[in-house]
Chains A and B, each alone.
Chain A
Amino acid sequence: MLNYVLGRLLTFIPTFIGVTLISFGFIRALPGDPITVMAGERGVSAERYAELKVQYGFDQPIYVQFWDYLTGVLHGDLGTSFVTKRPVFDEFFALFPATLELSICAMIFALLLGLPAGVIAAVNRGKFFDRALMSTALVGYSMPIFWWALLLIIVFSGNLGWTPVSGRIDLLYYFPDATGFMLIDSLASGQSGAFKSAVLHLILPTVVLGTIPLAVIARQTRSAMLEVLGEDYIRTARSKGMSPGRINGIHALRNAMIPVITVIGLSVGTLLAGAILTETIFSWPGIGKWMVDSIFRRDYPVVQGGLLLIAVMVMIVNLTVDMLYGVINPKIRKR
């Protein structure tokens, strides 16, 4: 197992270099540069433009700029945002806990509903329940996030008044972000009602962000279960008179979990992509919105640094998922 993990860690190196190169190149491939975007309609004189180019280092050949960036990265310096003039690293880790908290909640929500729904649909294959669940999943999968979020806000926050419209906590509460995770910080603050407010604020964004992963997990669980339920050993188990609960819950589900876990790993990317829209609508101060704003402003250091950090996070999640295979399937563990 240790060898396996070390081997996987080694593959991080080329991926890391590749991501650095792509993130550096991608933002520069977009037309326009930060200086003209910042100047807007007001314009900037040719002399001033030349001065600013020197100040930002754009007068250097592109390979020199890349080398500077790469050496910076290897020294743990991702540069400073052109716009806020603050280190990219600090900005990322000030915002990332908000995205992580929301993503974890969304994933838990998707798993709690998606796994049982998939199993139930598989067991009742072709029956009404199966069809109803799978049609709902299809709708969930193709739901435009923006529309879905506004619909939920109008119904649950506007008409019913059950949940707050947006934000992470009621503005009444104010305490230091010790961890950046609002659920933890609100509990730690000891202010009465703060935790409840944080939970209420999480509900709608969680549902919105979790909807697509939920649909994917339900469908994947169903098809993996159907495949496993057709296997010989399940028939054997049935013929031995084992209870359906035991067959489905232990023998079938465990074997169906491998493709499902793959999907969960891949959903991390979906969650981050979905976070961009979800965070914008719910005024959720996370990295999704931060990245989009930075792309529009051509804030090169933020875009390249942010992409790199996100890529590292995704690599870590994928490694974790691969290790989980071993836990679930002893055949992989032994290899």
Chain B
Amino acid sequence: MSFKSTVATGLLLATVGVSASAQSLVYCSEGSPEGFDPALYTAGTTFDASSHPIYDHLTEFKVGTTEVLPGLAESWEVSEDGKTVTFKLRQGVKFHANDQFTPTRNFNADDVIFTFDRQGNPDNPYNSYSGGTWEYYGSMSMPDLVESIEKVDDYTVKFNLTRPEAPFIANMAMDFASIVSKEYADAMMEAGTPEMLNQAPIGTGPFKFQAYQKDAVIRYLRNDEYYGDKAKVESLIFAITPDASVRYQKVQAGECHIMAYPNPADVQAMKDSDDVVVMEQEGLNVGYLAYNTNVAPFDNAKVRKALNMAIDKQSIIDVVFQGSGQIAKNPIPPTMWSYNDAIEDDQYDPEAAKAMLEEEGVTDLSMKIWAMPVQRPYNPNARRMAELMQDDLSKVGVDVEIVSYEWGEYLERSKAADRDGAVLLGWTGDNGDPDNFLAVLLGCDAVGNSNRANWCNEDFDKLIQEAKVLPTQEERAPLYEQAQQIFKDQAPWDTIAHSVVYMTMRPEVEGYVVHPLGGHIFNAVGLKE
């Protein structure tokens, strides 16, 4: 937002008055958004501040689930061959207005086409705006998948795909698919200020962007013309508070109503306190230890299994996650459809593990474990985790050396086909689809990239490829369940943990639902009188 417009909005508010507080919901957020055009970025913090309050999507995730509902598209049809998806758009949906722009028309097919064209078409004048790299669009394979987008009429859009792809409908609910206004984009391009699309966002969502004071506060006002259920509070304020202990102090002092990411160490005290309410849910993520299945003796599934049996996951949950995690037995989290709960995890049994290693002729094994240098929800302290594993493995006669690299270097080097050692890493889901875990992390195509185990199993890969093109969840789920069984038998990873996500709030907050996809959504949140 330019200085001028900040001043203008400020003066406007100053005259309107400042006593909006009674109906203001204050959220203590953990960091600053990178910008307000979600398609340019990949960070959850940015999506919380942009995609969820300001924008809508063709389809929407039902908050609290990974179920996909109609959004700006009222309905959709998938062709027989699965390669054409036709969306019927909602009519009468209004875009927000701001100081520079007042929409003259409602949302229509042009906006949908513009939203995706600017990300995929290098000739679109917005393709290179704000140094746009459209990372998410790329990482969801959209450039290969979308052949063309056609406007059938003002309220019908047809996507022609290069192959059938079941997760496509869920992809349309993701943050990068936030629908932006073509009319606004054109106006800003004409004014010579295209970057306003990223700095003073215009969407159709439940809240209108009001102002952003860098690294301090973001302000939103309720969109009274919203097509769906209107927001419960008049204004929404993000108080940017990077330190978790300080966020908790602010909630206690009444300076914030709700906060994300408490310190795991504080959670018990929060649960015991009468002043705050703590909500929890398993995160849509998995933390794992990936063996390099290219390198002996880790090319032997029995050796991998034996090592898994030597690692005490419960003590990792207790020490590293301080209780804010649960043991993972499958590569997908339990909140995801097709999760195979019948699978039995490898039990912690150092004696049996030792015997199994001896049986396979593995003695005096020494190996490396790679520990990530950064903190992630699926692994709050990789160094500590590696030390616990080192200790466990030494009990079965395996000598472990812990190595680490700077994060960018770590990600790069861990892809190598001849990598020396097992690597600690994890994944957070994008669209709630099992394909987003199983194909991305364990598919043959991903070897040399995000498949850190370098594991390519024909049977497994066949199942996930088949499942990807089937139209319904009912048909796809059994294939994924079988794939998880193959994974468990072959043990390319030791699945370690799914984190538990906590939200801490004051007792007067009502209607908050923890969203498994990780976003923080306040549309339906109100404050008790």
Contacts and interface: CB of A to CB of B under 8 A. Distances in A.
* A, B bound: yes
Interface of A: 30-33, 36-45, 48, 52, 55-56, 80, 82-86, 91, 94-95, 150, 153-154, 157-158, 161, 164-168, 171-178, 189, 191, 280-283, 285-286, 289-290, 293, 298
Contacts of B40: 85
B21 interface: yes
26 contacts: A30-B406, A39-B139, A39-B411, A42-B450, A43-B415, A43-B450, A44-B138, A85-B131, A91-B214, A154-B249, A157-B253, A164-B255, A165-B253, A167-B217, A167-B239, A167-B255, A171-B21, A174-B219, A176-B6, A176-B10, A177-B213, A178-B7, A191-B18, A283-B243, A293-B31, A298-B408
* Secondary structure class of chain B's binding surface, majority of residues: mixed
B246 A153 contact: yes
B18 A280 contact: no
Contacts of A175: 10, 13-14
Is the interface on chain B under 10, 10 to 19, 20 to 34, or 35 or more residues?
Answer: 35 or more
Contacts of B239: 167, 171, 283
Given A32-B409, A282-B246, A176 B11 contact: yes
Given A32-B407, A42-B42, A290 B215 contact: yes
Given A36-B408, A43-B415, A174-B219, A150 B214 contact: no
B116 to A, nearest CB: 18
Contact of A84 (B34, B246, B249, B406): B34
Contacts of A283: 215-216, 239-243, 246
B427 interface: yes
Interface in B207-260: 211, 213-217, 219, 237, 239-243, 245-246, 249-250, 252-253, 255
Contact of B14 (A95, A191, A293): A191
A137 to B, nearest CB: 27
Given A45-B449, A176-B6, 19 more contacts: A31-B406, A32-B408, A37-B407, A39-B411, A42-B135, A43-B411, A44-B135, A85-B131, A94-B214, A164-B253, A167-B255, A168-B216, A171-B239, A174-B18, A176-B10, A177-B213, A280-B242, A283-B246, A285-B215
B287 to A, nearest CB: 11
B253 A158 contact: yes
Contacts of B26: 171
A280 B243 contact: yes
Interface string B350-376: 000000000000000000000000000
A285 B214 contact: yes
Contacts of B10: 174-176
A48 B138 contact: yes
B312 interface: no
Contacts of B214: 91, 94-95, 285
Contacts of B24: 171
Given A191-B18, A283-B243, A84 B35 contact: yes
Contact of B249 (A157, A285, A290): A157
B245 A38 contact: no
Interface of B: 6-7, 10-11, 13-14, 18-19, 21, 24, 26, 31-32, 34-35, 40, 42, 130-131, 133, 135, 138-139, 195, 198-199, 211, 213-217, 219, 237, 239-243, 245-246, 249-250, 252-253, 255, 405-409, 411-412, 415, 425-428, 449-450
Contacts of A36: 408-409, 411-412
Listed residue (B139, B215, B242) with the most chain A CB atoms within 10 angstroms of its CB: B215
A59 to B, nearest CB: 15
Nearest to B428: A41
B405 A31 contact: yes
Listed residue (B10, B24, B245, B246) with the most chain A CB atoms within 10 angstroms of its CB: B246
Contacts of B138: 44-45, 48
A54 B364 CA distance: 48
A154 to B, nearest CB: 7
A41 B427 CA distance: 7
Contacts of B217: 167, 171
Contacts of B213: 177, 285
A153 B135 contact: no
Contacts of B240: 283, 285
B198 A85 contact: yes
A146 to B, nearest CB: 9
Given A85-B195, A174-B13, A166 B133 contact: no
B250 A172 contact: no
Listed residue (A52, A177, A178, A293) with the most chain B CB atoms within 10 angstroms of its CB: A177
Given A174-B13, A289-B215, A41 B411 contact: yes
A172 B450 contact: no
Contact of A289 (B242, B406, B409): B242
Given A85-B130, A176-B7, A285 B246 contact: no
Nearest to B140: A42
Nearest to A48: B138
Listed residue (A45, A171, A289) with the most chain B CB atoms within 10 angstroms of its CB: A171
A31 B406 CA distance: 6
A33 B408 contact: yes
A284 to B, nearest CB: 8
A80 B409 CA distance: 24
A165 B249 contact: yes
A32 B406 contact: yes
Contacts of A280: 242-243
Contacts of B411: 36, 39-41, 43
Contacts of B34: 83-84
Contacts of B246: 150, 153, 165-166, 281-283
Contacts of B215: 95, 283, 285-286, 289-290
A230 to B, nearest CB: 47
A188 to B, nearest CB: 11
Nearest to B210: A174
B14 to A, nearest CB: 5
A79 B256 CA distance: 36
Contact of A153 (B130, B131, B249, B428): B249
